[in-house]
Structure 1
Amino acid sequence: MHIQLLGGFRLDCGPGPVHVVPGARRLLALLALRDSPVPRRVAAALLWPDTTERRAGACLRSSLWRLVKPETPLIVVTEDALVLGAEVDVDFRRACAFAAAPGASPEAVTMLKADLLPGWWQPWVEAERDWWHQARLRALEVLSDRFRVSGDRHHAYQAALAAVQTDPLRESAHRTLVELHLADGNPAQAVRQYQSYRTRLRAELGLEPSSHIHELVRPLLR
């Protein structure tokens, strides 16, 4: 059994995806984001915040009842708490492991550049999304450096580009791309990368790039 949170929600049981009603989908996502059991009252309040405690509890019981029931349980239910079944694989948890200790593999880049539950507006999702945004940026830059040290400039470029796409105003990622273009003997592309960043930074924040990135291309600008 597999739950996908990166790039959108999906539940796979057996050979393919399984349809999940909205309430149960939110419940599975909440538990997939938590490593420890979630008290039933907390889960109900988070998932149905605009209703009474009694109504939220009823919605929680209904979602549990309507959830697909494979041989191995998706959710372990106790009197007071809920937790995701131990046999359920979650892509976000594996991505978090990559972020904590980035290994130089293309799979890591693919997972780290994916958004967490895009389009979901719930506060408990947005809090995790904010954390994921910063964690994956740091990890992508570490990965880019490791690929570059190992001589794999292609994947170093892919990791740095993913960081720029995640945060277009992050200067350290742009600087890495400029350095990679220069190392590849491509000064024109290095200048274009710098000028693209400079134009966006000016337009959105009214700022200039730092001297660190400017010094890389200053001889070329002359």
Structure 2
Amino acid sequence: MAHLSVNLLGPLQIYREKHPITNLFRTEKEQALLAYLLMEKGHAHSREALAEMLWPERTEGVARTNLRQALSGVRHAIVTGSLFQPFLTITNKTIQFNTECEYSLDTEKFHQLIEFTRSHKHNEKDGCPICIEKLQDAVRLYRGPFLANITNTDSLTFREWLTIYREQYFRQLLEAIQKLSEYYKTLGDFEKALRYARQLVTLDPLDESSHRQLILILGMQGNRSAAIEQYQACCKILSEELGVSASRETQDLYEKIKAGMLSGKQHSNMLSSFTPTQLTMFFGRE
């Protein structure tokens, strides 16, 4: 049986027996159809519902014709030789992705890695190395927003579906990166902590807590001028984009850094303030 590998995080990538076949999909709607069937593979979908979702502004007859053509394109793309592999279970009324076939999906791997870190039990006071490895694997899997290349859709229902998954995976990514930054900060590995903190600010520049994490790490690293510059950048973007000032917590951090209270011996004092309870918030339960 042929193996189908699909990556939905970032631009769609489809492989059959490790050979890329994404370019065999003729239209964005064909890609959207396969992606939808993969993500909602738990049950069969009526042809009527799929046609209405993907072509809402067409008449029922035209929408059903478009669905037949798109389905034909999907089947053609995933066929191996002259044999149609059972990646899809198709009847006159319904279509469903066949979960009994050989396939792999990056969103499933991503979800499994994140859920492992949430449920894993361990006794590490300074975070769990196993969970950290899982989080790093999850971050590497995330190539970009869910189905980043799907942009031209006239269906409100499909856009809402797309937005829900994009937001879900993006928030899980931010959570993973935040935990990694916190872990390395607690260990005193400021270079790695800084790398993840910068990534957070780049991904979500309007999140003040991400800026504060970056400011704190720069201060703990002894780079006071860079920390002050980051504080100023934070204040500017909050003012220009949201029309608000930095919170008292962020301002207090700035004042401490400006006064030189987070350099030298303050590193160890800051690290010792973390309790096992705080750490297990980020790395599962003891």
- TM-score band w.r.t. shorter chain: 0.7 to 0.9
Please point out which of 57, 66, 72 is paired with 2:64: 57
**AA of the residue aligned to 1:216:** L
Q: How far apart are 1:101 and its partner, in Å?
A: 4.3
Please point out which of 16, 28, 36 is paired with 2:19: 16
* CA–CA distance in structure 1, aligned partners of residues 236 and 72 of structure 2: 54
Identify the residue that residue 88 of structure 2 maps to in structure 1.
Answer: 75
* CA–CA distance in structure 1, aligned partners of residues 236 and 70 of structure 2: 49
Identify the residue that residue 280 of structure 2 maps to in structure 1.
Answer: none
The answer (yes or no) to whether the contact 1:31–1:84 under 8 Å persists in 2 is no
Please point out which of 202, 207, 215 is paired with 2:244: 207
Q: How far apart are 1:35 and its partner, in Å?
A: 4.6
Identify the residue that residue 188 of structure 1 maps to in structure 2.
Answer: 225
Q: How far apart are 1:151 and its partner, in Å?
A: 4.8
Q: Are the structure 2 counterparts of residues 120 and 203 from structure 1 closer, same or farther at C-alpha, using a change threshold of 3 Å?
A: same
The answer (yes or no) to whether the contact 1:7–1:118 under 8 Å persists in 2 is yes
Root mean square deviation, CA, Å: 2.5
* CA–CA distance in structure 2, aligned partners of residues 152 and 201 of structure 1: 29
The answer (yes or no) to whether the contact 2:51–2:67 under 8 Å persists in 1 is yes
* CA–CA distance in structure 1, aligned partners of residues 185 and 98 of structure 2: 39
Identify the residue that residue 104 of structure 1 maps to in structure 2.
Answer: 132
Bigger RCO of structures 1 and 2 (CA < 8 A, at least 6 apart): 2
Identify the residue that residue 105 of structure 2 maps to in structure 1.
Answer: 90
* CA–CA distance in structure 2, aligned partners of residues 112 and 212 of structure 1: 31
* CA–CA distance in structure 1, aligned partners of residues 246 and 164 of structure 2: 30
The answer (yes or no) to whether the contact 1:161–1:177 under 8 Å persists in 2 is yes
* CA–CA distance in structure 1, aligned partners of residues 16 and 239 of structure 2: 49
Question: Gaps spanning 5+ residues in structure 1: where?
Answer: none
The answer (yes or no) to whether the contact 1:174–1:194 under 8 Å persists in 2 is yes
* CA–CA distance in structure 2, aligned partners of residues 204 and 153 of structure 1: 29
The answer (yes or no) to whether the contact 1:113–1:136 under 8 Å persists in 2 is no
* CA–CA distance in structure 2, aligned partners of residues 84 and 175 of structure 1: 46
Identify the residue that residue 202 of structure 2 maps to in structure 1.
Answer: 165
Identity %: 25
Question: Gaps spanning 5+ residues in structure 2: where?
Answer: 118-130, 154-158, 260-286
* CA–CA distance in structure 1, aligned partners of residues 87 and 171 of structure 2: 30
Q: How far apart are 1:200 and its partner, in Å?
A: 0.7
Identify the residue that residue 43 of structure 2 maps to in structure 1.
Answer: 37
Please point out which of 115, 120, 127 is paired with 2:150: 120
Q: How far apart are 1:72 and its partner, in Å?
A: 4.1
Deviation digits for residues 181-220 of structure 1, max 9, x if unmatched? 1222222221122111111111111211112122222134
Identify the residue that residue 66 of structure 1 maps to in structure 2.
Answer: 73
Please point out which of 157, 162, 179 is paired with 1:142: 179
Please identify the structure whose Cα radius of gyration is greater: 2
Paired residue secondary structure (1:82): strand
* CA–CA distance in structure 2, aligned partners of residues 118 and 126 of structure 1: 11
Q: How far apart are 1:34 and its partner, in Å?
A: 2.4
Deviation digits for residues 81-109 of structure 1, max 9, x if unmatched? 41254422122222233344453233322
Identify the residue that residue 283 of structure 2 maps to in structure 1.
Answer: none
- Scaled by the length of structure 1, the TM-score of the pair is 0.85
- Scaled by the length of structure 2, the TM-score of the pair is 0.68
The answer (yes or no) to whether the contact 1:3–1:9 under 8 Å persists in 2 is yes
Note if 1:25 corresponds to 2:31: yes
